Every structure is written in structure tokens, then in C-alpha cells.
Amino acid sequence: MRHALGVLGVLAAGVLLAVSAAMNYRFGFSLGKTALDGQIYGAASAAADCFKALVPFFFFAAVRNRMWSQAMAAAVVWFVVTAYSMTSALGHAALNRLDTTGQRAVEAANYQDLRADAKRAQEQLAWIPQHRPAATVQSEINGVKDQRLWTTTNGCTDLTGKISREFCQRFHKLSAELASAQQAAKLEVRIAEVNAKLAKTSGGTVMAEADPQASVLARMSGMDVATVQTMLTIFVALLIEIGSGFGMYVAFAHWRLHESAERKVREPVEAYQAPASEVIVPTWSTAEAQSEDEALAAPQPAIAPPVAQPRIANDNRTPAKPMVPDSDVQRFYRERVVAASENSSLTSTELYEEYCAWCEENDKVPFAHPRVTREIGELGVKKERIGKRTRYFGIALKSATDKDDKTKLPTGLPKAA
């Protein structure tokens, strides 16, 4: 389950990082005078944004190893690349929000104009008096024109009597009815066109507000819409930058937290480490050295295989502490450092150089100098700060003591001529 959560976290952080890198690339591309310059600036901006996600790993590793100069440099680099990425994110978010809200405002205004136009046409259509269809009225007017009175009145321009006046009144009444029918037909066509345009518009344009989210937040907070839009733009930019900057570190830390918890459950209590003052270094006299050489020169008897010794019960009532593997620094100290007189001392640099040589011989990656110094100090070795150097007293390098023993000649042997 935790592996699935870790993978999902890495994927989410990767998406945020890709979005942030794309925004930085667009921002950097817009700075170029030519297409090639734009690509150069865009690539540099995207690389800086990706480096922003890696800097937290370097920073916290340097802090853990107490390498303060590297931690300070990582913090400065992170601040610079994050500030640059923040500007591009703000510009991109503001541009998209303004474009979206502006387009929505134009569409909403057009929708309202169409609704108003349709309403005016409906009102004008209601003002028109009752009438028959235009084709019916036109056919009746044509019938009137075929009568003899149309000719005698010269098209209702020369009225001579009551009959001619009644005839022409009928003709003008039909002409007015025809005009009303034609006007009504035009308004109906206009209303149909407006309704067709309204039917094609999307549902989002029906909203009266160009930015509903900012409007709602403005009413809730009591601020104006422009201030709320600015705050939302900053919030979106912070979401992208913080998510892309620390998302990877948080996602990978998920595994490290579980591994640390499991290691604490599996590992028993550390075994007791004897201080350097309790380490017994055997000393050899000249006679013992000679006897040892004679014993080595004599034929050796066959050595019987070791007999398993019975396990001695613990005298104390408390159970014995289980043994755990030594750390690399403890192994180095046991293999390369011996107890010496109080006047013997080693500097921290000499001890670290010997530790690096031991790591190279054993194919190990050396720890940082501060960590090695701290772990050796935890072993109980006496140390003092003299000048600008740390010195350890009462210990010596095993290689140095072996070299001194080889150069010393045992007493009783004749010196070379």
C-alpha cells in the first residue's frame, strides 16, 4: 500500500513539475528576439525549473552532514530559480485568467444583446393590428384593381362621388392590412434568426458574471472583484511552484520514513563499545621476541580443531545486550587505531585521511569529515581544540606503530657493520 502511495505521489509531483517547466519554457521563449533565441531562453528556463525540484535534496543532505557552506549555496540557488519560476507562473496564470474572463464577458454581453433584440421584436410584433396573411390581402387588392372604378378614379386619385370614395376607402384599408402583414412577416423572420443564434450559444455564456469564482469570493470576503482575481492568480502560481519544488522531495521521503521505522523495529540495542582507555595493547620484551622467533622456527605440531565451548550464563539478572554490526567508522577505528601514551596525539585531518584510505581499500564510500569526527568523539576518545585544529590524545595509527616496531632492533642482536 505504501509503495502505491509513493508512486502516486511521485506521479503527481511529476505532473506539477512538467506543468511548471512548460510555463517556464513559454515565458523564456517569449524573451527571445528570434526563434533560436527564444528556444535558448526557453530551454534554460525549463532546466532551471527542473533544478528547483532537485535543490531540496542537496540542501537537506548538506544540513544533515553539517556542510553549511553547501547548504547556504543550495538555498541561494533555490531562491533565485524559484523567484524566476514564480514570475513566469504569475504571468501565465494572469494571462489565462484575463483571457478567459474577457472572452466570457464578451459572450455574455452578446447573449444579453440577442435576448434584448428578441424581446424588442416580440414587442413590435404585439403592436401590429390583427391582419390576414399577406398573400390573401394582396389577392384581394388585385381584385379591387380589376374593377371599373379603379380606372374611373384613376387609381383612387380622382374622387367624384360617394361610390368612388367608398371604393377608394376599401382599397386603402386593404393596403394598410397588407403593410401590417408584411411587417409582421419581417419581425417573425428576425425573431427566428435571433432564436437560432441563442440556441447555438453555450450554456456558460448565460451566466451574468464573467468570473463567477471571483464574484462569489468577493461577496463572501467583502473585497472587490479585481483584488480577489489578483489573489487567485497568486494562489495558483504558488500551488504550481511549491508543488513542483517540494513535491518530489516529499514523495521520496515517504519511502525513507517507512524504511527508518522498519529499521528501528528490526535493529536491537547497540552493543557496548569499550572506550579507548580500556583497549589493551600487548607489549613485547626482547626476550619474549626472541622466544617467539624460535617458536616460529621450530616445527609446529598439528593443531586440533577448536572445541566448541559451552555458553557461559550471564551473571547479571538483566539479559545480555545483543550484538549489532559495527558502523564503518567503528570498524576503521578498531582496525587502524591503537591506544598509546597520553603524549601521543593525532589531528582530525590525519585521522580522516587514514579513514579515507581505509575506505578506498575496502571499496566503501567515505562519510563527510564532520560525521567521522562526531562518531570518533562518541567512542570516548579525549580531544581538545588547539589553535584551529582538533587533536585526539592517547591514540595512534596502527600503521605508524608497526613502522616504528620494524625500525627498532631487538637488544642482544649484533648491529650490522
Q: How far is CA 52 from the centre of its chain?
A: 9
Q: Quick one: pLDDT at residue 408? A: 54
Q: Quick one: pLDDT at residue 191? A: 92
Euclidean distance between CA atoms 287 and 293, whole angstroms: 10
* Closest among 405, 380, 374 to 393, alpha carbons compared: 380
For 254-286, give the DSSP string: HHHHHHHHHHHHHS-PPPP---GGG-------H
Q: Quick one: pLDDT at residue 406? A: 57
- Number of helices followed by number of strands (H, E) in the chain: 13, 5
Mean pLDDT of successive 10-residue segments in the chain (417 residues)? 71 82 80 85 84 84 85 87 80 71 75 87 90 90 88 85 87 91 92 87 59 76 81 77 75 58 46 45 42 43 44 45 65 87 84 90 87 85 81 84 58 41
The values of phi and psi at residue 312, to 5°, are -85, 135
Euclidean distance between CA atoms 357 and 354, whole angstroms: 5
Please, which residues have CB within 8 angstroms of residue 329's CB and are 6 or more apart in sequence? 355, 367, 371, 372, 375, 376
Q: How far is CA 138 from CA 33, 154, 156, 157, in A?
A: 70, 19, 17, 20
Euclidean distance between CA atoms 334 and 338, whole angstroms: 8
**pTM of this structure:** 0.38
Residue located via cell numbers 506543468: 19
Euclidean distance between CA atoms 307 and 78, whole angstroms: 64
Q: Quick one: pLDDT at residue 136? A: 92
Q: Quick one: pLDDT at residue 407? A: 54
Q: Quick one: pLDDT at residue 310? A: 44
